[in-house]
């Protein structure tokens, strides 16, 4: 198979800085700019991604199935729904591991170079896998399931030397520039995943293309049902109570689609790899008190120590969610659909208190 190395990403970019910044009238508009981090991730992923429309059929032997790797277990679950029994699927990142900071093992490298295609979440999520992916891309096509999704992008800079006066009750926090990779928190983005997966599998394995299309169609119906269910659930929470304080910034897509505002995060960054400063923690404590936020939502892959401290200081509840990883199959979030239902129930219950 011919692999084109520097594929062009077809990202549609939405600058949704307004999610955070709209509430702060003193915020100078010139600070909302295309963040440097965005360019970095596009450049890095372009060095190993192949365009999903640039794939040709794989030479499969008699009775041989397409062998597929998916990076995160959430991506693996969605690809499993599309590939069904027609593919051999290997999920790479173990349950409970953090996808931002997961580093591939030598065994993972061996696994990856022996498959026909690798599916990523993309959008900068698997940043600690880039080195290995670059090597693997010489032999195996690597695709981003998120190709074509409208991305959430935030303007960068930590105040850039400027100190703002805060009015009482004003929502104000800033994030380092970057793009939110947690696209799966909008069920409609996962429709794009399903369609991309069906397209990629069908292009590599045309004999089963109809099956992949049928599976995708059925799964998309479930995603639409999930989306409608979420809309009904979140409608129970008064608009002024739809505030999310989280361990890191993972909910811009959720906020955009379901009407929530991310008012603060223990780690004000899109990746768990970042470290908050003492000043940022103090600011978060202030924000929680000023706005009367009711809970801090913490992913199961996060170290809860800092969040626990903030919860103690403010007296708010710490609510665990599944963010970057599914639970064990028989746990409460064993599939993507179950993860969303679990998280939405937890969020709604915490905010209704």
Residue ranges binding Zn ion (CB under 5 A): 250, 324
Q: Which is nearer to Zn ion, 185 or 219 (CB)?
A: 185
Residue number with CB closer to Zn ion (100 or 116): 100
Phi, psi of 335 (to 5 degrees): -135, 170
124 or 324: CB nearest Zn ion: 324
Cα–Cα distances (Å) from 301 to 76, 119, 310, in that order, read 17, 21, 18
Angle, CA 121 vertex, CA 329 and CA 263 arms, to 5°: 90
Q: How far is the CB of 260 from Zn ion (least distance, A)?
A: 16
How far is CA 202 from each of CA 52, 198, 217, rounded to the nearest angstrom?
A: 11, 6, 14
For Zn ion, which is the closer residue by CB, 173 or 185?
A: 185
Shortest Cβ 248–Zn ion spacing (Å): 6
Kindly tell me which of 66 and 250 has the beta carbon lying closer to Zn ion. Answer: 250
Which one, 122 or 324, has the nearer CB to Zn ion?
A: 324
Least CB distance from residue 337 to Zn ion, whole Å?
19
Structure tokens at 351: 């905010």
> Is the Cα torsion angle 219, 224, 225, 227 positive or negative in sign?
positive
DSSP code, position 49: B
Classified as helix, coil or strand, 109 is helix
Q: Where are the beta strands (DSSP E) in 199-273?
A: 243-248, 261-267
Closer residue to Zn ion, CB minimum distance, 49 or 250: 250
Instruction: Give the residue with the Cβ less far from Zn ion, 1 or 318.
Output: 318
* Closest distance to Zn ion from the beta carbon of 89 (Å): 23
Task: Please state the closest distance from residue 155 (CB atom) to Zn ion, in A.
Answer: 20
Extract the runs of DSSP E, i.e. beta strands, from the chain: 12-15, 66-70, 87-91, 117-120, 142-144, 150-154, 178-179, 243-248, 261-267, 295-299, 317-321
Pairing mode, if any, of strands 150-154 and 12-15?
parallel
- What is the nearest approach in angstroms of Zn ion to the Cβ of residue 182? 5
Q: Is 33 exposed, middle or buried (0-12, 13-18, 19+ CB in 10 A)?
A: middle
Question: Whole-number minimum distance, CB 19 to Zn ion, in Å?
Answer: 16
| Minimum distance, C-beta of residue 110 to Zn ion, in the bound complex (Å) | 27
């Amino acid at each position: 198979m011919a692999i084109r190395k520097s594929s062009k990403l077809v990202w549609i970019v939405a600058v949704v800085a307004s999610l955070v910044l709209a509430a702060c009238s003193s915020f100078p508009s010139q600070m909302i700019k295309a963040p440097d981090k965005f360019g970095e991730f596009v450049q890095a992923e372009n060095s190993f991604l192949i365009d999903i429309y640039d794939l040709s059929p794989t030479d499969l032997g008699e009775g041989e199935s397409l062998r597929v790797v998916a990076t995160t277990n959430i991506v693996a679950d969605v690809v499993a729904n599309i590939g069904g029994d027609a593919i051999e699927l290997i999920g790479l990142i173990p349950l409970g591991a953090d996808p931002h900071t997961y580093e591939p093992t030598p065994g993972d490298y061996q696994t990856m170079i022996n498959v026909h295609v690798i599916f990523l979440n993309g959008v900068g999520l698997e940043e600690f896998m880039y080195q290995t992916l670059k090597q693997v891309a010489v032999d195996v096509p690597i695709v981003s399931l998120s190709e074509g999704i409208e991305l959430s992008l935030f303007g960068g800079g930590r105040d850039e030397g400027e100190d703002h006066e805060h009015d009482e009750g004003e929502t104000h926090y800033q994030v380092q520039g970057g793009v939110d990779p947690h696209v799966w928190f909008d069920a409609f983005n996962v429709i794009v995943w399903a369609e991309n997966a069906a397209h990629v599998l069908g292009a590599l394995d045309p004999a089963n293309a109809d099956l992949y299309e049928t599976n995708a169609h059925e799964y998309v119906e479930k995603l639409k049902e999930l989306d409608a269910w979420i809309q009904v659930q979140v409608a129970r929470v008064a608009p002024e109570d739809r505030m999310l304080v989280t361990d890191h910034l993972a909910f811009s897509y959720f906020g955009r689609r379901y009407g929530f505002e991310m008012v603060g995060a223990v780690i004000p960054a899109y990746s768990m790899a970042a470290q908050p400063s003492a000043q940022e923690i103090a600011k978060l404590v202030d924000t929680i008190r000023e706005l009367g936020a009711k809970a801090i939502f913490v992913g199961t892959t996060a170290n809860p120590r800092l969040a626990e401290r903030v919860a103690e200081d403010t007296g708010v509840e710490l609510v665990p969610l599944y963010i970057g990883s599914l639970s064990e199959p028989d746990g409460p979030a064993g599939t993507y659909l179950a993860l969303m239902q679990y998280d939405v129930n937890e969020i709604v219950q915490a905010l209704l208190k």
